[in-house]
Structures are given as C-alpha cells and as structure tokens.
Amino acid sequence: MLQLTPQSRILLATEPVDFRKGIDGLAAVCRRVLTEQPLSGTVFVFRNRAGTTLKLLCYDGQGFWLCTKRLSQGRFTWWPQRQDASYHLCARELLVLLWNGPPHQAGMAEDWRKLA
C-alpha cells in the first residue's frame, strides 16, 4: 500500500510524459529531467499528453510502486503551467488532484507549522 502522509515529498512533472514508459523509463525521467533521485522515497506524479491519465512512481525501500489513474471520461482540469520541470504538492493537494479537483481552490487551511 502506498501511504501519503503530511511528511510525504511529492513532485509533479510539469511536462507530459510518454506513458509507454514503465518504472525504469519514469525513473530515468526523474534523474534526467527532474534532476531528482528516484530512490529517495519521493512520490513522483506524471501526466500523459492527453491529460486523461496520471502515473505515480515511488520507491519504498524495498521496491518501486507504479500506480495509474485513468479517468473514464474527461480530462484532468488542473495542471501547473510553469517553466520549472517540477512542482511541489503536499499530500492533501495530491488527493484533491486525484479526484480531478484544482488543489489551489480546495479551500484548505494553511499548515500551522511546516513538518520536517
């Protein structure tokens, strides 16, 4: 089971990725494009070009998790439009995104104190 906690580090790849890639291909994107170590325990979130599917890649210390969410209709309505290769999210924002909501409009309270 993949567990998202407030301490989870979550990075979205801002550019669409070729979803023919599996674990090894997405890990290479982490290293080359995002300049991040895929073995760090970070949850990496990728989107396909059509905007209908997300893939999450995470290493749990024993092996990789590769999770896919494909919408049965429509597209994911929110995705960051940035020059940076990656965008940081907190766990609750990722949950909103997975339900196809815009994380910045969810009306959640700010963190009282950042967790390490």
Q: Which of 36, 6, 46, 90 is nearest to 28 (CA)?
A: 36
- Band (86; pLDDT cuts 50, 70, 90): very high
List the structure tokens of 68: 């896919």
Q: What is the pLDDT of residue 35?
A: 95
| Per-residue pLDDT tens digits for 28-54 | 999 999 999 999 999 999 999 999 999
Inter-CA distances, 16 with 41, 45, 50, 55, 72, Å: 22, 10, 8, 11, 19
Q: Identify any residues that bridge with 56 across adjacent strands, giving them in sequence order.
A: 45, 67
